[in-house]
Amino acid sequence: MQTWELRYIETCTPEYAEAKELRFDALYGELGLPRELVEDTDGWTYEHLVALVDGHIVGYARLHLDGGASRIFQVTVALDWRRRGVASSLMNELIDLARSHGRTQVELDARAHVVGMYEGLGFVVDGQEFLSPRTNTPHFPMKLTLF
């Protein structure tokens, strides 16, 4: 049973600041990487989605809509909420959003250890393993064709 609420947030809100902390802790801090890596400096526009439990953010993901394809970035779940379906819930919502915007596919770069989770959602590996230039961790490009 899902015990969290999904909500889209804006960058100028306290929820976004909380989401940045979660992103840092889970994506960069665990690797001993600098805090500035969590800053949004690419100039892209995203749809930011969070999972909330009792008003606290336990999951985050974002979608960039571009042309016929869409890209999902920074799927993040708090350590004590992992393996409960939070990431899948975030992903399904963003996939539905991409589909509702008429997109034909969704792409992402998955850390090697979570490729199986994305495959379970219908994504397929779409290239060779590479090291992320931001984290120096192994990733695979993946895509999902939308019908």
Q: Which domain holds residue 41?
A: 5-109
Judge whether 102 lies within some domain: yes
Number of domains in the chain: 1
pTM here? 0.93
Question: Within a domain: residue 16?
Answer: yes
Q: Which CATH number is 75's domain given? A: 3.40.630.30
The per-residue pLDDT for 44 is: 78
Residue 102 is predicted with a pLDDT of: 92
Mean pLDDT by 10 residues, the chain (147 residues): 89 94 92 88 86 96 85 95 96 96 94 96 97 94 94
User: Is 10 within a domain?
Assistant: yes
Q: What is the pLDDT of residue 1?
A: 61
How high is the pLDDT of residue 41?
A: 72
Establish if 37 belongs to a structural domain.
Answer: yes
147 found inside a domain = no
Answer for the pair 125, 116: CB distance below 8 angstroms, yes or no. no
Is 119 part of any domain? no
CA distance 21 to 28: 10
Q: For residue 146, is it within any domain? A: no
